[in-house]
Amino acid sequence: MDLETARSKSARTDRRTILHTALLERRAELRQGWLRLIPAECLESLDSAAESVASLLSGQDVFHDWTLAVAHHWLDCQAGLAECLLLIGMGQRIRWPVVVAPPPLSLAAFKKLSSKERVETLSLRYRCPLNIGGEGESEMAEELLRQLMVSDRVKLETEAEFDVDDILLKLNLVAVAAPFKRDLRFLDALNYFYELPHRALSRLRRNPRLLAGWLCLYAQLLCAPDWQR
């Protein structure tokens, strides 16, 4: 190994160490502060999932790698999308049946949908949310990321009206896609929304189940072992 190669590898290792340390610091912050985002009344509305959500968010650093459940097939689940997102967020191990993949979704048509229509379309297509990580869904994952960081962030920053289900669903799906992509832009989007002022985030309590799913997924991603390829 020559000197330049050694220095290059050392620099990459240093960057990874710095990033990993910063993410674990954010995880510690989330561990202490998640109750301000999901107060007792919201937690109680999660029914049987409440204890598992509280345990994961308050617990030790852990990442349940949900990418291991995917074998390049389209998967199905019997539960609804919100329920599946929460199960993944809580680290539940589930056997997902393989089904025939639906036809590709037109990105141009998707961009023209209203927020309500987007929620309906995403809820149907990604009833098993792990499918957002498939190679054929890369353009859709990118579009969800773009919407979050362009139009949706402005709505929250300016305290304009927004569709809570639409934004939370996109946050959840981007979180699920993140470990498949190993792209820091996906994690940065989650970091950005978490850092929004409390008055903006408090409006997300209108859908406690999707909010809890996002925070659990985010908490796990902060503990993922290596974000830089």
In this structure, are residues 97 and 70 in contact, taking their beta carbons and an 8 Å threshold? no
pTM of the model: 0.92
Distance CA 192, CA 46 (A): 25
> Would you list the domain boundaries of the chain?
3-221
Using the predicted structure, report yes or no on whether residue 13 has a pLDDT greater than 80: no
Question: Mean pLDDT across the chain, nearest whole number?
Answer: 90
* Least confident stretch, 7-16, 23-32, 218-227: 7-16
* Least confident stretch, 5-19, 89-103, 164-178: 5-19
Query: How large a percentage of the chain has pLDDT more than 90?
Result: 72
The tens digit of pLDDT for each residue in 131-157 reads 999 889 999 999 999 999 999 999 988
Distance CA 185, CA 178 (A): 9
pLDDT grade for 12, boundaries at 50, 70 and 90: low
Nearest alpha carbon to residue 77 among 137, 144, 130, 141:
130
The tens digit of pLDDT for each residue in 96-128 reads 889 999 999 999 999 999 999 999 999 999 999
3-state DSSP assignment of residue 182: coil
Strands (E), 86-195: 98-99
**Within 10 Å of residue 77's Cβ, how many Cβ atoms?**
19
The tens digit of pLDDT for each residue in 45-84 reads 999 999 999 999 999 999 999 998 887 789 998 888 999 9
Predicted local distance difference test score (pLDDT) of residue 6:
47
pLDDT grade for 7, boundaries at 50, 70 and 90: very low
